[in-house]
Structure formats: structure tokens, C-alpha cells
Chains A and B, each alone.
Chain A
Amino acid sequence: MDTLQSKYKTVKVDEVKEWFKAAPISAFSVNGGACVKYKDLQIAVFNFERFNNWYACQNLSPAKNEMVLSRGMLGDHKGVPKIACPLLKNTFSLETGENLNGDLEPIAIYPVKIKDGFVYIGTH
């Protein structure tokens, strides 16, 4: 059966086939996140200004299969940017998708680029 999780696969920068134009920069809170709808996917995008960088990952919480990661809290774990799930505080690296405080499967990570005031998400 096609699980929700199976729809989300990490995309590396050099694999990007299409940059999806998501929303203007101003739509994202500084040091916060928001969720972008792309086809039938939900992608969480973070404007992590303290890292001077943007990150994107699946919005799906792998522990509870709910669409909530964009509402989580940003932070760093020994210098690695991370997102904490608001449901059960599982934390994931925004660089690799790895679960930093447990042994859940990694989440899918997407490249982000900023061009002319707009946020783009890299997809296959």
C-alpha cells in the first residue's frame, strides 16, 4: 500500500528537475516555518535567519503521521540546524533529515533557493 511517508523522498540539489515557486519571502516568519502545498505534497519551509539559511522538509510527522512539522520550533543541536515536532518533540536535522533524539526513520529534505524575493523548493 502506498503510505503517506512513501510520497516523501529527499531531493538533493544536483537532482533538482524543477524549482517550484512557493511564495514571497515576506510570507515566512523570521526564524519560523510555514507549510507549502506542492501538488499533493505538504512541504515545511523554514527561514532560519540565525543560520542565515533556508531549509525545507516534509510536513509529515513520521511518528504520528500528522501534518505538523512546519509548526514546530527551530533550533540547533551541536551546530546542526534542527526542527522539533510540536506533537511529541522528536527532533530532526534539517541538513540530513536524521532523527536526533531517537531512532525514527529520517525525514525527507528538500533544497530551497531564493530568487527575486521568492522562495523556491527543489523537486524531482
Chain B
Amino acid sequence: MKTILVIGNGMVGYKFCEKLMAKSESDNYKVIVFGEEPRPAYDRVHLSEYFADQNAERLSMAPRSWYEENNIELITNERVTDVHRASKTITTINDKEYIYDYLVLATGSSAFVPPIPGVEKEGVFVYRTIEDLDATMAYVAKIKSQKPDGKAAILGGGLLGLEAGKAIIDMGLETSVVEFAPRLMPRQLDNEASQVLQNKLEALGIDILLNKGTQNIEGDKAITGMKFSENETLPVDMLLVSAGIRPRDELAKTCGLEVGTRGGILVTNNMKTSDDSIYAIGECALLNQMIYGLVAPGYDMAGVAVDNILGDEALMPSAIDMSTKLKLSGIDVASFGDALNEAKESESIVYENKFQGIYKKINVSKDGKKLLGGILVGDASDYNMLHQIFLNGMAIPENPEDLILGARGGEEASFGSALDLPDSAVVCSCEAVTKGQICCSVTEDGNEDLASVVAATKATTGCGGCKPMVTDLVTETLKSMGKVVKDVICDHFQYSRQELYSILKVKKVTSFDEALDACGEGKGCELCQPAVSSILASLYNHTPNKEDVSQDSNDKFLANIQRNGTYSVVPRIAGGEVTPEQLIVLGQIGKKYNLYTKITGGARIDFFGAELNDLPAIWTELIAEGFESGHAYGKSLRTVKSCVGSTWCRYGMDESITFAIELENRYKGLRSPHKIKGGVSGCIRECAEARGKDFGIIAVEGGWNLYVCGNGGATPRHAELLAEQIDNETVVKYLDRFLIYYIETAAPLMRTAAWLDKLEGGIEQLKKVVVEDSLGINAELEAQMDLLVDAYECEWKQVVESDTMKDRFSHFVNSDDRDDNIAFVPMRDQKMPELWK
């Protein structure tokens, strides 16, 4: 067995492992990976997302368990310090020694920090690792706590710098981007494109300073400003340097491998260094006298290195595609091929629309036959197609301007369907997946939706830029096979939940049988009955008592079934506010029925171990004492959690508890596609954890900030800001609209976070709908919520006041006996169900 040591656990180092493991011969190799960072490889391309959610997990390329499952030894937090080529060994910072047969250097790059005097001062950061971001965020918080008008600057107007600029301004500092060149993204954009981008960024509040060389970093201990010339200084409290990268070639240098004059480990196009046993891949490798700072060429290099180690001849292509497309603060920016046309080998066609902030340029060969490159700013919807035409040298229309203007004069567009691409076209360049592979995955392997094609081919899992094209390919291929592409409820209803909602509403359906008659087939099932029941409840606020047989079991018995067939009982305690008298009553009821008792995560009291037969009696007592259903069993509003707010707290900015009670009482009993939780915090300390809820409200200076679409659970998500500094009335108005819009359009059992992910345009689109009324439906949404609020009735009160409804709560239909199969065992002064038999 041979040993491969991989030095560096970044994206490319990880990709090397992944590509090696995909080969059957990988069993013959022992692989040890060294990473100097504390965590396993993560996605640096999407690093700026970490500013928003601080979720390192989400960026992870693969968990540690993946390495274990593949028998790869992953040693993180351990820098390799020396390579001894003669003995084929390496040593690490902890003086550990390892022997190799093959060594793969995937050491990546470090942020380049220009040698400006004072650059070592406190408050100057780089933008490369999660730790860098943590340090940056901590410093931003410090500045904000010390001064209300803190300022930050980004050194470097490249794509990383601009992403960082947006992230910092979102954190609440005034932000300037300082660029040495006369334009933004100088390697990708021309002056006109840069100007369009600059206008858009300035509209977002980012200050852009071009043609600025920084002479000195001012300040005693910490940075206070950037000096550009004798009479020009920009006062700033912190600086984030994003001025390019430098290959990490120090290991290669000290062991005598050939390196380039300006750095980078020299490799030939089979990724071998000057030592046959040593490969270099990714941003540390100097290929064709170039450092390729993009992930797609890095992944290609990883694949070529794997093939060569396994004995296959594989070479990097002679032309390496450096096209990029990104979304910068919601602004599309793309450039491909020869974007700048510096050698004047082509003629340009330019479209610029200053009203809409759109700039499109294509460079066409002088004979008018080939597309050689282009730039798109403000609208890059044509990028994937143009990029493919360029990559594959496809024929272009007689009037090349049709490529960016569309065919005018009523003719059909001369290009446009992804299916027209040649099978060899690489659609996902990160994972090197061709159009042919994607279509084959549908036609040959029977993958019938995007998710399964993605799982099978890995397309879209890199930068994600090809997702629209892959989606089109899958949909078009399915259509060409005569398949209907649809997300339907089940066999009985060939509609999405949103469609079904509209049909039931328009046809005024009020029962499951009517729904089957109106638009269903067969006899229903455990998927469509709860879905229809939930829609009917959302339309009319019918309680489950109206048609108990079509409810999910929990809704049928108005209680959560537990693992031994007993139920839990949760009365509503709005906002978590409870009087001592109420607590005593609850204690007495719990004691009388011998119920296991616990405080829930939603700040209320949960009784467990109630037998079906006892539920009506327990609720009769609870209702007599003024309690009502807590709907803990329903796909409906659960709780609105709260801190005590300004009522008691010395930091409180507003009465969070009063507001939480008002909201919980407004939305109680509201049936929805999944459960809904809310939270209200009285200040930004956020003790109610409101941003972990479907809706969260936080008191700030001048009103409330409203966040939506968060959750805890298996995939925690922070809620996103919908509106700032609004008053109570506006919060209720926006919430009414948001909740009904979600209820009307989400799929069954889809929580708000997943729904927002699916919503085209995301949070920005949601803002348009809810705040700006872009669809013109807000009056309707509000009216629907008012109708539901007015129609609310406590469903347990209905049961205890009706003799017939109580009948369903007896275990036997022909006997008053109890279920003798239920058994409890003692546990910590209470009881629990016997272990599953």
C-alpha cells in the first residue's frame, strides 16, 4: 500500500480526496491530510455568507465523518513545516514525522497585504479564513459599541473586496472601497461596466474611491485613517485588506522545488512539480506562468493530479476558462472569455441602459462568426447561454447583437434552449459536468427531479452559478420524454399545495369528500387528508372537530400522541406569562391525573402520560380555570416567546411581553403548512431568541425590527430582516400579510425558512410583496387574516361543551375499560412509559 500525503485541507485539497475516493483503485492508497486551520475544508467561495449567519457548518465541504468513512486520516490544526525529499518524509510543527510515496501540495494562498507603513496597526484585517471573519466581526461590534458613526474601508475593489464591503455595511458601519486601479474589478470589467456597477453600489450606500494609492495607515495604536496624499486622508476605524492573493509556496521553496520568480510552485500541465513524486494543485501552483485564483481550475487540477498518481496520463487543457459570474449585493456581474479585448482581436457590441443600470458587451470575431468574450452587469440572465456559446465555439446569429438584445422584429429568438448545446458542453465547470451527463442522468438513470440529478452528478454543488441552466436541462429533458414536471400533493391530488389552496377556495369546498369530488381521485390518504384539512382550516378557521376523521392523528385527538400511545396536554400560556394562582391550578390538575410534568422550550407547561379517556376530563378542568388549547399538536401557531422587556428589564427598550401576548392571542389557532413559532425581544440582547423563530421582533431605537423565516431544529436558521424601526401596528400589518402569503403558497410541511429558500428573489422579493405590495394582494391578505382571527374558537372548549364530540376520546367503542397495554415505570419522582417492548 502506498501513502499519499496531502498538505492543505482547503477546497482543492478536499476535492483531491473526493476525486481519489471516487476511483476504485483508491483502496490501494493510504491518505493522510494535513490542515493548518482548526476545521475541515470549507467553501471559501461563499465565505461572505458567514458574515450573515456565522454558520460554519453550512460552509463545510464535508464533515469529519466523511474522512473517517473513507479511511482518510485528517489532521487539522497541524502545520507541515518541512519536506525532506531525499528521505520522502515530512515533519509537522509538533515534530511529528510522516513518510510518503506521493506528496500533494494544496497549500493554497494567503491574502496579500501591501507593504504600506502602519499596516500592522490594530483594526487592520484580511479576508481569507473563518477566523479572519470572526476577528473582523468582533472588531466591528467593538467599534459600534464605542461610537455611533463608525467607519470602515476595504482595500481592494476586486470581487472579494466588494463582497466584503457589502457585508460590512450590512453590519452597520459606513463603508468605503478603496481601489488603486481606475475601475472596479479591473481584471474582469472595462471602465463603462465598472461605472454601472459603481452607480449601483453607491446606491446601496457603499462609497467607492478609485485611483487611490494608500501611502500610510494613520493612528497611534489602532488605525484612524488612510492617507492617500499630503492633503487627502480618509478617516476610518478599521480596514479590511482584500488586495489579491499570494501563493503559499514556502514549503516548496525550503525543500528546493522550483518556484516562479513572483512566487507559485512551478508545475507542468500534469500538475507535477520539479520532483516527480510531488504534485502541486490549486492556488499554490504556477501553471503556464499563471496562478489561477478560481475554484473551477483548481478542481480540474485536483482531478489531473489524481489521474497521474493512479498512473493515467491526464493533462490540464491548454486554455483555462477564467469566466466568472457572481451576484454582488443582488447585482449581477459576469465576465467571460476575452472580456477586455485588450489585443483588439475582436469587435465589440455594447448595450447600455442607464435607467435600469444594465450594461452588456460582447466581443465578436472580426468575421462576425464567433463569440470571443463579454461582460454583463445588472442583468446576467443570458450569461450561461453566452458562456456556453463561447466555450463550445457555437455558431452565432447573423446579427450578433441578437445575442444581447434578443431577436427583434417578431422572429423567434435565434438561440435560447439549453437543449441546443452540444452534449460535450461543460455546464457545471466546478464539477466538470457536461450537458450530456445531466441529460443522461434523466433519460438513462431515471432521475426525475433536480434534487436527484444533483445528487447523481454533483452539478451545481460548487459555486451554484449553473443552477438555472441545470434546472432548465432537467425540466426540458423531462418534457421531451413526455413527463409532467410537478410537485404534487400525492396520487389523489395532482396539484401543488398552492394550486389546491386556490381551487378549494374558488370552489368553496368545505370538506374532504367535497375536495375529492371537486378535484381529486381515489379515496385519499395520510398525505392529502391532513393537507386538505389544513387548507380548509386556513381558509375558514374550522377547527379539527368539524371533520375529525380527516385530521392527522394529533389533530384528531387535539393532543400529541407519545410513544406509548398516551397523550400530552399543553394549555396556552401566552407569552409565557402565568399567575401563581394559575400555576397552582396546573399543579393540582397534574397531580390529580398523575401526569409527568415539564416546562417546554416555548415557555409553557407540558403534561405527559394522559390516557385518551382522560383527555376530556382534564380539559374540562383546565377550561373551567380559564385556560384554552395551546395547539401544541397542530401545524399551527405554537408560541410567541418573550423576554420581560422594559416592563422589568433595565435594558428593555419596549414592552416585549405585552406585545408577545398580543401577537400570540392574535394568531392562536392559525393553521398553516407547518408549525409557526414567534418571538419578541425587548432589546438587541435578544433574550427571547426571536431570530430563531418563524417571526421575530426586536425592539430598537425608534420601533421594532421585524425578522422572518428563522427556525431552530435540525437546520437552524436565523430569521432575515423584513422591516426596520416600525411601530406595533405596522408589525401586525406586515405579519398578517407575511403569514397568509406563506400559508397560501408553501408546500405541505414546509417551514418558513425552506419556503423563503424556494421563493424566487428571496427576502428581497418578500419585502416587495409584504412591504411594497408589488403583487397588489395585501388588502386581500389582511382581510383573510382578519376573517381567521374573528373566527377563532378554542377547539377543546367545543369538545368539553358537546356530548357527542367527547365520544371519540374513549379507547374502546364497546367498553369503558382502559387500554391495559399501557405501562409506566418510575423516573426521578415522576413516571415515564415503559421502554418499547
Contacts and interface: CB of A to CB of B under 8 A. Distances in A.
A41 B492 CA distance: 34
Interface string B223-236: 00000000000000
Nearest to B837: A65
A10 interface: no
Interface string B540-557: 000000001111111011
B526 A75 contact: yes
B811 interface: yes
Contacts of A77: 525
Contacts of B814: 22-23, 27, 36-37
Contacts of B529: 73, 75
A29 B811 contact: no
A31 B808 CA distance: 13
Contacts of A32: 548-549, 808
A68 B559 CA distance: 14
Given A45-B813, A71-B556, A71-B557, A50 B549 contact: no
Interface stretch (A11-19, A79-87, A106-114): A79-87
Contact of A74 (B491, B492, B549, B808): B549
A36 B813 CA distance: 6
B147 interface: no
B817 A84 contact: no
B523 A81 contact: yes
B564 interface: yes
Question: Max chain B CB contacts within 10 Å: which of A4, A31, A78?
Answer: A31
Nearest to B551: A73
A75 B523 contact: yes
Contacts of B526: 72-73, 75, 84, 89, 91
Contacts of A27: 807, 813-814
B813 A75 contact: no
Nearest to A50: B523
B563 A29 contact: no
Contacts of A67: 565, 811, 819, 821-822
A72 B522 contact: no
A16 B813 CA distance: 22
Interface string A80-123: 01101011010100000000000000000000000000000000
Contact of B563 (A35, A73, A87): A87
Interface in A22-60: 22-23, 27-32, 34-37, 42, 45, 48, 50-51, 60
Interface in B479-529: 491-492, 513, 516, 522-526, 529
B66 interface: no
A42 B813 contact: no
B561 A68 contact: yes
Give the residue among B554, B563, B814, B822 with the most A Cβ atoms within 10 A. B814
B565 A66 contact: yes
A79 B521 CA distance: 10
B648 interface: no
Contacts of B513: 31, 50
Contacts of B550: 31, 73
A69 B319 CA distance: 65
A71 B553 contact: yes
A75 B525 CA distance: 4
Given A75-B523, A76-B524, A89-B526, A34 B813 contact: yes
Contacts of A51: 523
B836 interface: yes
B812 interface: yes
A76 B817 contact: no
A66 B553 contact: no
B146 interface: no
A7 to B, nearest CB: 11
B836 to A, nearest CB: 6
B549 A68 contact: no
A51 B523 CA distance: 7
Contacts of A50: 513, 516, 523-524
Given A22-B814, A75-B525, A64 B556 contact: no
A91 B821 CA distance: 22
A35 B553 contact: no
Given A50-B523, A71-B553, A73-B529, A86 B821 contact: no
A68 B597 CA distance: 23
A29 B548 contact: yes
B353 interface: no
A4 B565 contact: no
Contacts of A87: 561, 563, 565
A27 B812 CA distance: 10
B28 interface: no
B815 interface: yes
B812 A4 contact: no
Contact of B552 (A36, A45, A73): A73
B525 A76 contact: yes
Given A29-B549, A29-B808, A31-B549, A65 B836 contact: yes
Contacts of A37: 812, 814-815, 817
Nearest to B813: A34
A60 B564 CA distance: 11
Given A67-B819, A86-B561, A28 B813 contact: yes
Contact of B524 (A75, A89, A91): A75
A77 B491 CA distance: 8
11 contacts: A4-B821, A23-B813, A32-B549, A42-B819, A50-B513, A66-B563, A66-B564, A75-B524, A75-B529, A79-B522, A82-B525
Interface of A: 4, 22-23, 27-32, 34-37, 42, 45, 48, 50-51, 60, 64-68, 71-79, 81-82, 84, 86-87, 89, 91
Closest 9 CB pairs of A and B: A86-B553, A75-B525, A32-B549, A84-B526, A34-B813, A76-B523, A66-B565, A50-B523, A37-B815
Interface of B: 491-492, 513, 516, 522-526, 529-530, 548-554, 556-557, 561, 563-565, 612, 807-808, 811-815, 817, 819, 821-822, 836-837
Given A67-B565, A73-B529, A84-B525, 4 more contacts: A31-B550, A32-B548, A67-B811, A71-B612
